Structure 1
Amino acid sequence: MYAYDLDMNRAGISLSAVCVISGLLLVAGCSGGGDLSTRGTSNTGGGSGATRSGSTADNSTLHLALSRFDSSLAAKDLFASFGDTAALSVLAAKETETWKLLALSGSIDAFATGPKQAATIGADLSAAEYSISIGQPPGRLTLVAGGQDADTITSAAKKAGYEGAGVLSQKLDLENPLTVTVAQVEPKGDDLVVGGPGAKLESVDPDGESLTDLDEVAAVVECLGDVVAAQIAPNSENIDLLGVGVRSVDRGAQSVMCVKPKSPAEAKGIATDVADALKNGTMSNGQPYTKFFENVDVVAAGGVVKMTADNTANGQANTILQMVLSRDLPALPGY
């Protein structure tokens, strides 16, 4: 568990006492928000030269982020953590208590103690457009997209003991915790790619097929839509891929869960079980799901199960993300 301060330049706020457990940000409070579906488009500035917007499906920021990674990363169990930093900054400026502690979603896996640790290699996490981490240690990759200065990063990383040209690296040093998660550093335009000692940094901005070219990834990403934070979890006995995320709607924070079964024929049964669990079931701590979710809708279409639910005042903006950690997702054994 870690605590740190974060100055969010665009939001004009300061964050403190952020608790992190296994890369999930635990947030107190849930209210307010705003619909970002009309947010303007801006450049990522990354190696792909892509643009981003707050709309759904192929134009979502989550889709853009995943499209920058080589499809080979899904050969093993795919795990991804994503945060739309720019959108979260806007939301936090309006409804600070609801959204501010999600600000580092996507980058916290690499920089466990936050922006001060990232600053040792010249990175500015709060200036990013979005951040995303793919995989598990020691091969985890993290992309901080937009807002970074290559010269500043190169200079700071070398002062911190990293060596090389293009990709800078440093051997694992247990007395320097940053080298455990950030053994490699590569500035890419105004983006930054970092990785553990086993990470393949060339998997970012591939020439060939990307993660979103895979049917199961594309289906889950399209289902999640314009989420501002998300987790994608690997398969289980009867599930190809699962994704959970948080959207901003006029009523506040809305949770989304998308399940792609191995067999499309199983989707209807899973949807029925999920709906029943949310209405009548309890979490591992004995508390009913109805305490945290309301206005629940569960549908099965195109072989994918989609749940949407408004977070109640008892919940947190990232309640659905925390449930991945505690294995409390409704009616999904193993999740």
Structure 2
Amino acid sequence: MYIYKPFVGALLAAGLLSGPAFAENKISACELTDTGGVDDRSFNETAWHGMQRAEKELGIGAKVVESPSEVDFEPNMTSVLGGKCDVIVTVGFLWGKATEKFAKANPGQKFSIVDYAYTPQLSNVRSQTFATDEAAFLAGYLSAGMTKTGTIGVFGGMNIPPVTIFMDGYVRGIRYYNAVKKASVNVLGWDPDKKQGLFVNNFRSLDDGRTFAQNLYDEGADIILPVAGTVGLGSAALADELGPDKLKILGVDADMYLTNQKLGRVYLTSIMKRMDNTTFEVLKDAKDGKFAGGEQLGTLANGGVDIAPFHDMESQIPDDLKTELAEVRAQIVSGKLSVK
């Protein structure tokens, strides 16, 4: 499935625009989504927002190609090669091998991949990676301070590093709260030491999101972190039915209060990866002739990761807990506190 956006190159080809300014700045970019789809209200959509911003602010042509399953990856990649896109942005860990294969076969093509890094690095691939565990650590500390039952739940889409880094940081933030507050908040669904936990093995099923959240709620969890893209919308729907006084949800990737406004009241906060910002920077560098391969890491310090505003939950969070969160953030940014 193709979703096209008009871009300068097409207008030039049609003879509707002319002149050296347009010829010099003609850059086109294509996003190839992971299996969650461009409307996943999560990482595919957030990266697409960065593409749209580049289209608006930089005059870059933007096109997105959706991949319903992994079997679509190589055909979709082939469809945008051959000079059709100056920069090809692949979204998600599952794209790692395919992107590497095509990057090596097409050394003159610029690529960027979200949530994957190569060792050794590839000269024509910019990896967008994120210290998500830093923001997740804050969210874990916050959740531990807000739970009423003393039990918190977490589950993932797949047992892959871009998912488990959320879960690692989240659980370690809860553990840190327990250590400094002499508390005993329990976590269901993930053990960062054993790398074992709950996974739905997909990023699309709302039914799975509801079922896994229901099971964790039945075991006593009143706050749940689903790290599973669209799946988390099913968890949010359950929380909306129960009421946020009984079950709160944490969003991932984007500020889910804004992207899932109908159910916004259930979100305590969201653990954000700013793929929109990093994707925009990649395209800006390409337009400015500064594109280079390697790794681009988003952190708390540079704004590449963060937790979202508390929105409707603002008045429910004690001032002393907000102060503690600010102190924890400062210690992570300064390097005094490790989230590993």
Question: TM-score of the superposition, structure 2-length normalised?
Answer: 0.26
Report which of the two has the higher share of strand: 1
Report which of the two has the higher share of helix: 2
Structure showing greater radius of gyration is 2
Question: TM-score of the superposition, structure 1-length normalised?
Answer: 0.26
